Structure 1
Amino acid sequence: MDWWLIVTALVAGVYGALVGALLPRARYRLAVEPGEPWRGAAPCGHALGGWAGRARCGVCGGRYGPGALWPAAATAAVCAGTAAAVGPRPELAVWLLAAPVGVLLAGVDRAVRRLPDVLTLPLAAGAAALLGAAAALPGAAGSWPGALLGGAALGGAYLLLFLAHPAGMGFGDVKLALGLGLILGWYGWGVLILGGLAGLLLASAYGMTLLLTRRAGRGATMALGPFLVAGAWAGVLAGGWAVRP
């Protein structure tokens, strides 16, 4: 790893930590049951100002959600690892913008088993647009048509899974798969298959662990989003390493 790659990874890690520390308030506001409006006030009754920041009331100082440590650490690790694998290529900017969204989606889904459209749809639209711009820049190591096909393929595959077994998967997972497919498809079909299968395998392993330890029974549901995001990240790391000179 040369010095320029080390600097890139360090800068990306600092960026990830700073942005990740701003996610708790958005997680709290979005972590509501389907049909309920986004939270606009803390449990103490004081109004929340904006979407970014700590999960702590600015008036009375009361804490109303998880701290900033885990989202900051998780986003920093994802951004630094991605930068180390991909290097200073145009698509790295797209991955660094998508990383906090993925961490936030994982947190919300884990809390209420819901993947809000306000995150999944902009992720897909933003990935399509930004990867199109990245493809036009020198040094890009992926394919924009491949990304579009990947989004359609993974989104379509999850749509079929949803139609076949609606009780085991939410429609939010389908919309998330669309955005993740765009990201994975950038590096080709091999990375798309790897990232897609990795998410399902991680979810299956976790579900089996819950059954074996009797922490959940047969038919129990769990949040699939965190595993889909983790699988996609594994695919991006593999794709980034594969195209490095």
Structure 2
Amino acid sequence: MSVGDLLDSGALVPAVVTALVCAGLALGAPALLARVPEPDEPDPDKPAYAVLAAAPRLSLRLAAASGVLGLLVGGALGWAWALPVWWVLVPAGVLLAHVDWRTMLLPTWLVARLYAVVVPLVVVGTLVGRDLDDLLRAGTGWAVAGGLYLLLWLVHPRGLGYGDVRLSGVLGIALGQLGWAELLVGTYAGFLLGGVLGGLLSVLRVVERKGFPFGPFMLLGAVVGAVAGPALAGLAA
């Protein structure tokens, strides 16, 4: 969606509101990160979550990223019943992407709490919107995305962490609520971005060639699916 389309379609208000909500929630993300318990057997090279949380200007950086992504998502969805799901998913996703990038881990403690918020929001949104098809697609999204990542993890566990499997389910729920195009594009985009951008970053030696965090690409792919899923699916049809 171009700036002109955003202004003409009446999507500017939900876009700005979503950007502000996402940025505002992200400001409190470091305090949440500081509460994450450490793994039972942490990698000696992994920085402690409390240390990550205390990084200078972290809250502002997370808020800026969340605000930009929230602007895009809010402009694409408008005043949809699914929008509150993304008010939570965007800042939580930015935080998880940051943690995964720094630690190569997606903490179960955070992902579980994301499920605990997203699932009720999806259920309430579909009931208030009186469209049970959205709920059916959300459940299917959880099964399809989660099942696909589980299969890949079983086939090649060294290439994918189980935290990615957990995260894929909640992303599938949120994308499935929006539509089939959003679900398919959002899931595929995560793999495409991980392969292309991850490969490029490996060549540039920004990340390790044999292993790099996949969570950030999954989350970015989900945003692509939410924002441009129908348009991209239409091009492929």
TM-score, normalised via structure 1 length:
0.79
Find the aligned partners of 1:116 and 1:110 in 2 and give their Cα distance: 12
Equivalent residue number for residue 197 of structure 2: 206
Q: Give yes or no for contact 1:191–1:239 (8 Å, CA) kept in 2.
A: yes
* Distance across 2 between alignment mates of 1:41 and 1:170: 22
Alpha-carbon shift at residue 11 of structure 1 (Å)? 2.1
Shift of the 226–141 alpha-carbon distance from structure 1 to 2, 3 Å rule, reads farther
Distance 1:216 1:40 in 2: 20
Q: CA deviation at 1:131?
A: 1.1
Selected match of 1:73 from 64, 80, 98: 64
Q: Distance in 1 between matches of 2:55 and 2:16?
A: 29
State the distance in 1 between where 2:112 and 2:85 align: 15
Structure 1 distance, partners of 2:48, 2:204, is 35
1:187 aligned residue (178, 201, 204): 178
1:188 Cα deviation from its structure 2 partner: 3.0
CA–CA distance in structure 1, aligned partners of residues 158 and 15 of structure 2 = 41
Alpha-carbon offset, residue 241 of structure 1? 7.4
Q: Which has the higher helix share?
A: 2
After TM superposition, give the deviation of residue 142 of structure 1 in Å: 6.5
Aligned partner (choices 219, 231, 237) of residue 227 of structure 2: 237
- Alpha-carbon shift at residue 137 of structure 1 (Å): 1.9
Supply the AA of the counterpart residue of 2:100.
Answer: D
Aligned residue for 1:133? 124
Query: Following superposition of structure 1 onto structure 2, how do residues 114-153 of structure 1 map, counting pairs within 5 Å?
Result: 114-138=105-129, 143-153=134-144
User: Cα RMSD over matched residues?
Assistant: 2.9
Cα 1:208/1:118, change in 2 over 3 Å: same
Which of the pair has more CA radius of gyration?
A: 1
Partner of 1:52: none
1:109-158 CA-partner distances (Å, limit 9, x unpaired): 11101111122123234323211110122486971101101111110000
Aligned to 1:46: none
| Equivalent residue pairs, number | 221
> How far apart, CA to CA, are the structure 2 residues paired with 1:10 and 1:111?
30
Q: Shift of residue 212 of structure 1? A: 2.9
The offset of 1:12, in angstroms, is 1.9
**Which residue of 57, 75, 94 maps to 1:84?**
75
Aligned to 1:7: 13
Report the TM-score, using the length of structure 2 for normalisation.
0.81
> Residue 13 of structure 1: CA displacement?
1.6
Write the distance in 1 (CA, Å) between the matches of 2:39 and 2:119. Answer: 29
Structure 1 partner of 2:41: 35
* Cα distance in 2 between the residues matched to 1:159 and 1:39: 28
Specify every segment of 5 or more residues in structure 1 that has no aligned partner in the other structure, as ranges.
44-54, 56-63
In structure 1, which of residues 163, 178, 182 is the aligned counterpart of residue 154 of structure 2?
Answer: 163
Partner amino acid, structure 1, of 2:122: L
Q: 1:160 to 1:10 in 2, by over 3 A?
A: same
Structure 2 residue identity aligned to 1:226? P
Gap runs ≥5 in structure 2: 1-6, 233-237
- Structure 1 residues 137 and 239, CA, compared in 2 at 3 Å: closer, same or farther? farther
Report deviation, 1:78.
1.5
